[in-house]
A and B are shown apart, each in its own frame.
Chain A
């Protein structure tokens, strides 16, 4: 599942979307006492974030919103697919697909029919660092739907026929992913950048590892990873603090106090740079490029986030969009993002260009990265990116579901609710000197790792590419939605 979120998928919204959406992984610890309210004017109209502690001691964040009879719950267990045992790669991902395949007395079909009867939405996802749950219910039948959630989390059945069926589906997915140039590029980039570390392993597994996963492995993952001490919960919508407290104890109260996570070493992408080609007979080559970045709590992180925005972040105004797409027509999609995992941070990006011109796209990208490292941003780039990041923050808080996802990421990263009010000031406080220094720190190194998926180069077909147009043209890229 990592790929789907990590890289911008070609927002499969239809065959003629002008541009592509960029999604990031939702990225751990806030302590508070029961029912202490941290008032926050926030980006939403009078959004008040409460931090609560259930009678049983489970902490959560809550935004009450009673105008719509819905509640969105987002929660995570720290651990993720980095916890997959060696030889069982893809286990966490397997779990995400098994959580609605029967629980308690309900087999798969019975459980899923009940989901439809009760009209609740429940889904699961895994990233390198956490196992995510998402749950939405109408207020009218909340008691019944929460009973279903409780069952799924505490008593999943993992029946043999369901396990075998899901395994076959996951293996079919692997077969498709192996022929998808973008998924292949990301998988190989991670394998190269994080060779020897859990982050370098295939998060969706391999045919052999999926074949090796048993019911016992699923149950062992659940027991080791679902604990109260690594659980974070955010609720947004039509629910009161008192009701949420009861909900927390009811749904999660029977879990072990402590998870049994395997230690994961801090790491970083390999040094020294590398360029590799994965041969695939596709008309358009896909390249992924990237290197290490600073951790989330590094004092330079926000400046690095700003630099990423300027280079290849969201919106149509990035310098990569300008140089690769607008001036040269070399690609539909070119982007970068900065992703702070718990055990390493990366600055990564991608581009897709007809095979014979992919080197030209990469040359343009490399020279843009170098220019940014050497000179930093222009005053215009710097000012505009700040205005965008500050002005667009509110757009991340306009639905219950989005508010819940944003807050969960902050909760996981160890921030308090006050972050929401302070964040724009942090962006404003970045100086041009900071930006220049951090651009150099982030990009001025010879460690760029590039993975290209495409056909074997044909020297006869080298790039007859359109010349650069004189005037700059409109930039088009995607909104970066890192929870920052």
Chain B
């Protein structure tokens, strides 16, 4: 089978799969956790995930703040600030942060989600103290000039053009999220609406920074060739010296969704659409908001219904009905306030999207009414649990797994018990989850169709004047 780069929609957040890829190697034996943690006096939690195979470490700082915490009308400020965090402090000259990391043979980057923002470096273990010192420094000492802010704002606008404006599937995705969430800020794109990005200011960034960036609103994750004993004194000497901001932390209150009442539809016609495609998103609970076992059931249901060539959707739409050239989807359960079930199908040549939708609806009705087979459930469990084990090969993935979940307030125990929780789900649980959450009233359906006046690339390239 193949993947569909053209149609895959941006997931809400890159760490979306973290919860879904979770157990450890020790699943069968239920060995004690190899992860160590402690909390500094100023409230900063430190988590150490030892992996001694290579003399390198991944150092990440997670802030419990993201796009969904932005004030109204200032969309994109969380992500903009993330870029600006690479400017300067009293100790780090302008533009030197990443260069210092590179000179030390390290790689660095950062990313922003709706619920968390993270910064990381991958370095040889002897460079870890320097990284901790640098991250602790910019947690409270960031300096910004007007000029830097304006230039970086242009970079963000280019980023938005690359990710969204140049890609009709991404435009549709934004419109669908905006229609799906009636009140919750998950309806606003993390990168921000273009017209709001264009007005973001130095003051907006600094206000956001001063409130949210504090040790008691952060978690430090270090995975790789280190031990808790090695890390503790380093953390105390760096992060430990920072002062907490008592105003931040405790609870994160965002506007909540009203009960869903009516199915919504959005239609995008675009000359760049490629093939016609159908998309359907349902609001569902996340691991944080679900009742025990419900999110696990949704993960298994999502796999059975929509993931890969063995899925119900693929078999029905592509193999049996032949109305789509491809079909798929997934459950995303990593949000603080909500999860989402996303489905898609690309129409086969000459097939009307109405027919595609009828087939998709039939597959959904079937799983809601009759649930899943024991064989499907077992395969889905195997895949999910094996994925957790495979992911354990990668210290960066492990750091993200723990960082993302802990940022949402989940515990190390919950993260590591995930494979067991998956194993406990019954076919009845899956059926219940399908019946409850594949409810069209809590959904948005999106269509992406090529418009007649297709203005796509002409094959022979012209010589430029």
Contacts of A275 in B (CB 8 A): 463-464
| Contact A315-B102, Cβ < 8 Å, known A279-B462, A284-B166 | yes
A317 to chain B, nearest CB (A): 4
- B6 and A176 contact, CB distance less than 8 A: yes
B239 CB within 8 Å of chain A: no
Of A75-83, A255-263, A324-332, A407-415, the one with at least 4 CB within 8 A of chain B:
A324-332
Which parts of B136-156 form the interface with A (CB within 8 Å)? 147-148, 150-156
Contact digits for A460-484, partner B, Cβ 8 Å, 1 yes 0 no: 0000001001111111100100000
For B307, give the chain A residue with the smallest CB separation.
A116
Is B458 close to A, CB under 8 A? yes
Q: Decide: A329 and B161 in contact? CB cutoff 8 A.
A: no
Contact of B162 with A10 in the complex, beta carbons under 8 Å: yes
List chain A residues, Cβ under 8 A from B319.
109, 161, 165
A284 near B158 with CB under 8 A, answer yes
In the complex, which residues of chain B have a beta carbon less than 8 angstroms from the beta carbon of A391? 103-106, 123-124, 127
A172 to B325, Cβ gap below 8 A? yes
Contact B86 A474 (CB under 8 A): yes
Among the stretches A149-157, A226-234, A394-402, A431-439, the one at the interface with B is A394-402
Q: A15-B191, A331-B158, A397-B54 are in contact. Are A384 and B99 (CB under 8 A)?
A: yes
Contacts of A399 in B (CB 8 A): 393-395
The reply to whether B346 and A394 contact each other, CB–CB distance below 8 Å, is no
- Whether the Cβ atoms of A281 and B2 lie closer than 8 Å is no
Contacts of A322 in B (CB 8 A): 95
B383 within 8 A of A: yes
Please state if B457 and A453 are interface contacts (CB–CB under 8 Å): yes
Q: Of B5, B148, B161, which contacts A176 at CB under 8 A?
A: B5
- Of A112, A173, A354, which one neighbours B5 at CB under 8 angstroms? A173
Q: Which residues of A contact B53 (CB under 8 A)?
A: 44-45, 65, 67, 398
Q: Which residues of the other chain, A, contact B104 by a CB distance below 8 angstroms? A: 387, 391
Whether A390 contacts B105 by the Cβ 8 Å rule is: yes
- In the complex, whether A179 has a CB less than 8 A from a CB of chain B is yes
The reply to whether B98 and A315 form a contact with Cβ atoms under 8 Å apart is yes
Of all chain A residues, the one with the shortest Cβ separation from B12 is A14
Asked if A281 contacts B191 (CB within 8 A), the reply is no
Q: Which of A180-188, A213-221, A340-348 contacts B (4 or more CB under 8 A)?
A: A180-188
Contact (Cβ within 8 A) A274 B463 = yes
A112 to B395, CA, bound (A): 29
Contact A45 B2 (CB under 8 A): no
Query: Contact: A15 with B163, CB < 8 Å?
Result: yes
Closest to B15 in A: A14
Contact of A18 (CB < 8 Å), options: B67, B111, B127, B308: B111
Q: Which chain A residues lie closer than 8 Å to B56 at the CB level?
A: 394-395, 398
Beta-carbon contacts under 8 Å, B381-413 to A:
382-383, 385-386, 389-390, 392-395
Q: When the two chains form their complex, are residues B54 and A17 in contact, meaning their CB atoms are under 8 A apart?
A: no
Q: Is B87 an interface residue (CB 8 A)?
A: yes
Please tell me if the beta carbons of A330 and B154 are within 8 angstroms of each other in the complex: yes
Residues of A within 8 A of B382 (CB): 116-119
Which secondary structure dominates where chain A touches chain B? mixed
Whether B103 pairs with A179 at a CB distance below 8 angstroms is no
Q: Does A168 contact B (CB under 8 A)?
A: yes
Give the complex CA separation of A353 and B54 in angstroms: 39
- Among B123, B273, B348, B462, the residue within 8 A (CB) of A277 is B462
A188 nearest CB neighbor, chain B only:
B461
Q: Which residue of B lies closest to A276 (CB)?
A: B461
Contact of A388 among B82, B94, B102 (CB under 8 A): B102
Q: Write out the residue numbers on chain B whose beta carbons fall within 8 Å of the beta carbon of A118.
A: 382
User: Which residue in A12, A13, A113 is a CB contact (below 8 Å) of B310?
Assistant: A113
Task: Flag if B161 contacts A19 (CB, 8 Å).
Answer: no
Q: Is the CB of B54 within 8 A of A175?
A: no
Enumerate chain A residues within 8 angstroms of B127, measured Cβ to Cβ.
391
CB distance from B320 to the nearest CB of A (A): 11
Q: Does A369 contact B (CB under 8 A)?
A: no
* Cβ of A147 under 8 Å from chain B: no
Residue of B nearest to A471 (CB): B94
The A-B contact count (CB < 8 A) is 338
B window 80-101: CB within 8 A of A: 82-83, 86-87, 94-99, 101
B109 interface contact, C-beta 8 A:
yes
Residues of B within 8 A of A15 (CB): 10, 12, 163-164, 170, 189-191
A372-400 interface with B by 8 A CB criterion: 384, 387-388, 390-395, 397-400
Report the interface size for chain B: residues with CB under 8 A from the other chain: 114
Is A121 interfacial (CB-CB < 8 Å)?
Answer: yes
Contacts A119-B382, A474-B86, A476-B98; A16 near B54 (Cβ below 8 A):
no
Instruction: Say if the beta carbon of B272 comes within 8 Å of chain A.
Output: yes
Asked whether A112 and B274 contact (CB < 8 A) given A16-B113, A284-B166, A384-B102, the answer is no
Q: Within 8 Å CB of A405, what residues of B?
A: none
Residues of chain A within 8 A (CB-CB) of B164 are 15
Q: Chain B residues near A470 (CB, 8 Å)?
A: 147
Which residues of B from 1 to 59 have beta carbons under 8 Å from A?
1-2, 4-8, 10-16, 25, 51-56
Is B389 within 8 A of A172, CB to CB? no
A282 near B272: Cβ-Cβ < 8 Å:
yes
List CB contacts (< 8 Å) of B154-179 with chain A.
Answer: 154-159, 161-168, 170
Residues on A with beta carbons closer than 8 Å to the beta carbon of B308: 112, 116
**Cα separation A331 to B160 with both chains bound (whole Å):** 10
Assembled-state Cα–Cα distance A284/B154 (Å): 13
Q: Which residue of A lies closest to B158 (CB)?
A: A332
CB-nearest residue of chain A to B150: A466
B57 to chain A, nearest CB (A): 9
Would you give the shortest CB distance from A436 to chain B, in whole angstroms? 21
Q: Digit string of A307-343 for contact with B (CB within 8 Å is 1, else 0)?
A: 0000000111100001001111111110000000000
B379 touches A113 (CB 8 A): yes
| B124 surroundings in chain A (CB, below 8 A) | 391, 394-395
The residue in chain B whose Cβ has the minimal distance to the Cβ of A46 is: B53
Whether A184 contacts B457 in the complex (CB less than 8 A), given A15-B189, A119-B386, comes out as yes
B271 contacts partner chain A, Cβ-Cβ < 8 Å: yes
Q: Considering the chains assembled together, what is the distance between the CA atoms of A170 and B123 in angstroms?
A: 40
A148–chain B nearest beta-carbon distance, Å: 14
Q: Tell me which residues from 198 to 216 in chain A have a Cβ below 8 Å from any Cβ of chain B.
A: none
A66 to chain B, nearest CB (A): 11
Interface residue A166 (Cβ < 8 Å from any Cβ of B): yes
A108 and B309 contact, Cβ closer than 8 Å, known pairs A332-B162, A391-B106, A394-B54: yes
- Residue numbers in A under 8 Å from B247 (CB-CB): none
Quick check: B79 and A16 within 8 Å, CB to CB?
yes
The smallest beta-carbon distance between B333 and chain A, in angstroms, is 15
Asked, given contacts A43-B54, A169-B4, A176-B7, whether A466 binds B154 with beta carbons under 8 Å apart, the answer is: yes
Q: Is B439 an interface residue (CB 8 A)?
A: no
Answer whether residue B315 sits at the interface, using C-beta atoms and an 8 A cutoff: yes
A-B residue pairs in contact (CB < 8 Å), sample of 26: A10-B162, A14-B11, A18-B83, A18-B110, A45-B55, A65-B53, A118-B382, A119-B385, A169-B2, A169-B4, A176-B5, A184-B457, A191-B461, A276-B461, A279-B457, A284-B166, A317-B98, A322-B95, A331-B155, A354-B161, A384-B103, A388-B103, A391-B123, A395-B56, A451-B461, A475-B95
Chain A to chain B: the 6 pairs with minimum beta-carbon distance, closest first: A391-B105, A176-B6, A329-B154, A14-B14, A119-B386, A316-B98
Q: Could you list 12 further interchain pairs (A-B, Cβ under 8 angstroms) beyond the known A108-B309, A473-B151?
A: A14-B16, A18-B111, A43-B55, A69-B25, A97-B2, A117-B378, A168-B325, A172-B275, A281-B271, A282-B165, A392-B102, A473-B94
Chain A residues in the interface with B (C-beta under 8 A):
4, 9-10, 12-19, 43-45, 47, 65, 67-70, 72, 96-97, 100-101, 108-109, 112-113, 116-119, 121, 136, 138, 161, 165-166, 168-173, 175-181, 184, 188, 191-192, 274-284, 286, 314-317, 322, 325-333, 352-354, 384, 387-388, 390-395, 397-401, 450-453, 466, 469-476, 479
